[in-house]
Chains A and B, each alone.
Chain A
Amino acid sequence: MKKSKKVMGLVLSVLFFIGLVLTGCSNQSSESSSGKSSGKSNTPQEITYASTSKVVGLSPIMTNDSVSANVITQIYETLFVKDPDTMEIKPNLAESYENPDPKTWVIHLRKNIKFTDGTPFNAEAVKYTFDKLRDPKTGAPRASLLAAVDTITVKDDYTVVIKTKQPYGPMLAALAHYNSSIVSPTADKKQDLMKKPVGTGPFMLKEWVAGDHITLVKNPNYWKGAPKLDKVTFKVVPDVNTAISMLQTGDVDFLDGIPAEQWSRVQGMAGVKTLKKTGTPVSYLGFNVRHKPFSELKFRQAIAYAIDRDAYVKQLNGLGTKSNSIIGPKVFGYDPSAEKVGYEYNPEKAKQILKENGWEGMTIHMLVANTPGYMKMGEIVQDQLKKVGLKVDMQTMEWGTFLDVSKQDKFDITFLGWSNSTADGSELLYPNLHSDNIGASNVTAYNNPEFDKLVNESRFTVDQKVRKKKLDEANKMAIKDAPWIVMNHGVVTLAYRDNVKGLNIDPTGEWSLYPVYKE
């Protein structure tokens, strides 16, 4: 009798846990339509967005992360902007510009614009902002954006003249980058813009609980007309599963950067819409060309032949595209003919090259940052290289350590990405593959004087046609030379409640809430 009761107790507890698991699992697949009512005309014009990490600060001069950028781009504006669909650079706070000579940029500014603290927007404000960004004492993370600039002068209230040391091709792309947003000089002298931002944009800061949320309200005097949204909340939800659950219940109105493994869950949700676009980010496998035999083209070709990138891209669930080109389709300097230049999957050829050169059975030291995306890349490539007879010793490490180690000479191959936030090919090839940047952003230490020359030519001319041609040539040279093997080009994503209208994302992943409203 007693024994049977004991068994009953055991069975009961096992059932308790099984019940817990099953309820959880069954809920995972069941999609409930829910959330706030939609379609009513009196819907509050308030929207909530969630990011997985916190906003570091709200000064465009002192930050360099995409989460802070999301808020900064709603508060501040740049002289030029990229069209989210065509990527064409158009004047914004600037009205027009001219190049009287290749080293001079005369920029005419729009009149009657004020910062939200009442300070007038003028040539002084532009000069102040750019000088502060460039000043070594500021220690701005993206000071290099304006490294080509020699002097900035105020010609009159609404004309600013930028002189560069050499003709500088990517100037407009640099001025359209969020780090070149114009700040209110009065406010910057008085307060820390990291905490109390003041720009000319459609929204202003109302409340900030550090690490938890930021609330913006509309700027009623915005020069293009007040935005439709009254209030915007940026929440921090570190766990992406939780963020998606919040989207499902309507606690959050939209999310971006959905991970590939969550894409099908989001797509299947009732009341939620998704948007995806080919983006500018590129992910690559990089060889440390300081090491032998990675310095030999034949070896790099063998690896390129050994990697089945179609199989890799397939598991990204549509959130990545395969391409041979280093400069992606949405980046200035891309030409479709670059796709034909690279090396396609051919394991037999890879084995043959390895055999002919006595590289069979060699051990490769692979360095991988321990974020889910790179880990996956590393595991798939490790497996594929094993199939052609190479041994791979994979070392994974946390991001901060990885950044340090990857800049030293301590790996054979590694994986990295580049977001291409200026969407300009020179800004991709110069930092990553030009010999000037070995030991910093050029982690592969690729050093090819011919390539350097082409990249320099693309940078030091303001003729956009010449720039495009030089970039295309440099791109094809690097694809053939293979210091990088492009794993995939990124896809930018948005998921939003179906009553949110007017939301768009540009290929660099930026979005503006100015045209957005709720139904």
Chain B
Amino acid sequence: MFAMIIRRMVQLVFLLIGITFIVFMAMHIAPGDPASIIGGPTATKTDIIQIRERLGLDRPIIIQYLDYLNGLLHGDLGISFQTNRSVAEEIWIRLPNTVNLAVASVIVSILIGIPLGIISALKRNSWLDVFSTTVSLGGISVPHFWLGAIFILIFAVHLKWLPVGGLHAPFWTPQGFKEIILPAITLGTGSAAMTARMTRSAMLEIIRADFVRTARAKGVKERAVIWVHCLRNAMIPVVTVIGLNFGGLLGGTIITEQVFAINGVGRLMIESISARDFPMVQGGVLLIATIFVVINLLVDIVYALIDPRINYD
């Protein structure tokens, strides 16, 4: 296990260097010039040339990349073209909001998805099963921006129970809890649906397995059969889905952040891509990629904990 972790960490470094290269080149090759965006339509040719010089964009691209890489090795993510602030600082301000939102929506998806999936599997083909699978299908299909807007109209504007938007405290504080409810449900619905479907199919497979029949034959109580024998074994694919979802949520909170006016990393990325703020996009992608890879590693570790048969050595 330990050797596996070390091996994966070494892989990670090379993977991330590769990512910086791809993102750097993609941003520079893609159409759109940061200087003309900063200058806007009013800029003259001279204005644009001067801005390019200030940003260092007049240098050869390979020199710019090596410069960037050198900064990275010294822990410097660079300075935003747009705001003149350090990229690390800009991301650092927003990261807690995105993590807050992602964690809260994973909790929502687990709280809704797993029970729904278990009930569905146990009461297969009953009206409960039809209800839960239809709701799951709906949950996957409904677009976030629509669901968010509807939630705002019902619970914030009409009933006035919850704030319209903003996130200024961690979700376990009273203010943060009130602020996170709607965004977390909006974002969590899709992954709850996915978790429910995954739990259902995994449970159905396990319920029919020989060892479950043996357990029942031995006279083990039905509750113990479900919770101990079935659920634990059914959890492996479910954990994979939740883990991948969480990584996806960190990068995919953009729409929810837009609708609920949450100052998160997703929104920062969209703004930075539109503004061709190269250092900011590179920093953001690097961060999201790192988190994604680390989460995958954690998921693999959790596998081993859930299923003792899995041995990476």
Contact A210 B83 (CB under 8 A): yes
Check A6–B125 contact: CB distance below 8 A: yes
Is B127's CB under 8 angstroms from A56's CB? Answer: no
Check A358 for interface membership: any CB of B closer than 8 A. Answer: no
With A28-B153, A245-B157 known as contacts, the answer to whether A251 contacts B163 (CB < 8 A) is: yes
- Name which residue of chain B comes closest to A418, CB basis: B41
Question: Chain B residues with Cβ under 8 A from A143's Cβ?
Answer: 46-47, 50
Residue from the list A138, A144, A249, A440 in contact with B164, Cβ < 8 A:
A249
Specify which of A27, A137, A407 is in contact with B158 (CB 8 Å cutoff).
A27
Please determine whether B40 and A6 come into contact, CB atoms closer than 8 angstroms.
no
A139 in contact with B131 (CB, 8 Å): no
Q: How far is it, in angstroms, between the C-alpha of A50 and the C-alpha of B279 when the chains are bound? A: 27
Among the listed stretches B6-14, B230-238, B267-275, which one makes contact with chain A, having 4 or more residues with CB under 8 Å of it?
B267-275
A403 near B125: Cβ-Cβ < 8 Å:
no
Q: Which residues of B contact A56 (CB under 8 A)?
A: 82-83
Task: Mark A49-63 against chain B: 1 for CB-CB distance below 8 A, else 0.
Answer: 010011011000010
Interface residues of A in 234-266 (CB under 8 A from B): 235-239, 241-243, 245-246, 248-249, 251
Chain B residues closer than 8 Å to A30, beta-carbon distance: 158
Instruction: Among B54, B153, B268, point to the contact of A245 (Cβ < 8 A).
Output: B153
CA distance A407 to B37 in the complex (A): 12
- A296 to B157: give the CA distance in the assembly, Å: 55
Residues A64 and B42 in contact, CB atoms below 8 Å apart: yes
Known: A211-B268, A399-B274, A440-B48. A6 touches B157 (CB 8 A): no
Stretch of A8-16, A319-327, A466-474 lying at the B interface: A8-16
Give the docked Cα–Cα distance between A236 and B85 (Å): 18
Secondary structure dominating the interface of B: helix
Residues 1 to 40 of chain A near chain B (Cβ within 8 Å): 2, 5-10, 12-14, 16-17, 20-21, 23-24, 27-28, 30, 32, 34
Q: How far is the CA of A228 from the CA of B79 in the complex (A)?
A: 38
**B261 sits at the interface (CB 8 A):** yes
Minimal beta-carbon separation of A219 from chain B (angstroms)? 24
Residues of A within 8 A of B127 (CB): 5-9, 12
In the complex, which of the residues B126, B149, B260 contacts A24, with contact meaning CB atoms closer than 8 Å?
Answer: B149
Q: Say yes or no: A136-B128 contact (C-beta < 8 A), given A53-B271, A57-B83, A245-B152.
A: no
Fill in one digit per residue for A285-318: 1 if any B CB lies within 8 Å of its CB, else 0: 0000000000000000000000000000000000
Q: How long is the Cα–Cα vector from A203 to B180 in the complex, in angstroms? A: 32
For the complex, what is the distance from the CA of A417 to the CA of B41, rounded to whole Å? 9
Contact with A along B277-306 (1 / 0, CB 8 A): 000000000000000000000000000000
Q: In whole angstroms, what is the CA distance A2 to B127 when docked? A: 8
Q: Flag if A211 contacts B90 (CB, 8 Å).
A: yes
Q: Mark out the residues of chain B between 155 and 189 whose CB falls within 8 Å of any chain A CB in the assembled complex.
A: 156-158, 160, 163-166, 168
User: Cβ of B88 < 8 Å from any Cβ of A?
Assistant: no
Q: Report the Cα distance A7→B36, complex, angstroms.
A: 60
B278 to chain A, nearest CB (A): 12
A192 and B84 within 8 A (CB): yes
How far is B277's CA from A56's CA once the two chains are assembled, in angstroms? 12
Q: Mark B129-156, 1 if CB is under 8 A from A, else 0.
A: 1110011001000000100011011101
Q: Are A404 and B36 within 8 A (Cβ)?
A: yes
- Asked whether, in the complex, the Cβ of A24 is within 8 Å of the Cβ of B153, the reply is yes
A246 partner residues in chain B, CB cutoff 8 A: 164-165, 261
**Counting CB contacts under 8 A, is A231 at the interface?**
no
Given A24-B153, A65-B40, A195 and B32 contact (CB-CB distance below 8 Å): no
Q: Which of A147, A242, A243 contacts B44 (CB 8 A)?
A: A147
Whether the pair A416, B267 counts as a contact (CB closer than 8 A) is no
- Residues of A within 8 Å of B42, CB to CB, are 64, 142, 144, 421, 431, 441
A403 engages B33 (CB within 8 Å): yes
Residues of B within 8 A of A8 (CB): 127
A403 lies within 8 A of B41 (CB): yes
Type the 1/0 row for B30-67, where 1 means its CB is closer than 8 Å to any CB of A.
Answer: 11110011111111111110110111000000000000
Bound CA span A212–B265, Å: 12
Q: Is the CB of B36 within 8 A of A249?
A: no
Contacts A6-B125, A236-B263, A245-B156; is A407 near B36 (CB within 8 Å)?
yes
Question: Hey, which bits of chain A sit against chain B, CB under 8 A?
Answer: 2, 5-10, 12-14, 16-17, 20-21, 23-24, 27-28, 30, 32, 34, 50, 53-54, 56-57, 62, 64-65, 136-144, 147, 192, 194-195, 209-212, 235-239, 241-243, 245-246, 248-249, 251, 398-401, 403-405, 407, 416-418, 421, 431, 437, 439-441
Question: Which residues of B are interface residues toward A (Cβ below 8 A)?
Answer: 30-33, 36-48, 50-51, 53-55, 82-85, 89-90, 93-94, 125-131, 134-135, 138, 145, 149-150, 152-154, 156-158, 160, 163-166, 168, 257-261, 263, 267-268, 271, 274-276
A139-B54, A431-B44 given; 19 more Cβ-contact pairs under 8 Å? A2-B126, A9-B129, A24-B150, A24-B154, A34-B160, A136-B50, A210-B94, A211-B268, A212-B168, A212-B263, A238-B267, A239-B258, A241-B259, A242-B260, A242-B261, A399-B37, A404-B36, A416-B41, A439-B45
Jot down 23 A-B pairs with beta carbons below 8 A, ordered by A.
Answer: A9-B128, A13-B135, A16-B135, A23-B154, A24-B149, A27-B157, A57-B84, A138-B54, A139-B50, A144-B43, A144-B44, A144-B46, A195-B85, A210-B94, A236-B263, A239-B259, A241-B149, A242-B261, A248-B157, A400-B37, A404-B31, A407-B36, A421-B42
